[in-house]
Amino acid sequence: MRLSGELDLAGVDQFERLLTDPAPGTYILDMRGLTFIDSSGLRALIMADQRVRGEGGRFIVVRGPDRVNEVLEVTGVARQIELVDEPPTL
């Protein structure tokens, strides 16, 4: 799944609907096209990670631009989710 633009209050509902009932497996979220993330986006990211892992899956997040990565680092979210520099080959 690739995100682009902003992950904020306006776009969170659509993102959350994509992972309402995740099946076990590996999910890769590519944030390289993201330009902004706010607290509602961070919450959605954490909740998606918890839902996928709760179903026995793996949730991998590809780092975004520096501005987005800084928000993940400062808030501690980067320590809670699996972050990678490049999408893995599965």
- Which tokens belong to 44? 């959605």
* Residue 77 per-residue DSSP state: G
**Res 79: pLDDT:** 95
Which residue ranges form the domains of the chain, and what is each CATH number? Answer: 2-84 (3.30.750.24)
pLDDT, tens digit, for every residue of 22-68? 778 899 999 999 999 999 999 999 999 999 999 899 999 999 999 99
* 59 and 81 Cβ atoms separated by less than 8 Å: yes
Q: What is the pLDDT of residue 86?
A: 93
Q: Which of 12-20's residues contact partners 24+ apart within 8 Å by CB, and which partners?
A: 12/40, 12/41, 12/43, 12/44, 15/41, 15/44, 15/48, 16/44, 16/47, 16/48, 19/48, 19/51, 19/52
pTM listed for this prediction: 0.89
| Token duo for residue 26 | 């590996």
Per-residue model confidence (pLDDT) at position 11: 87
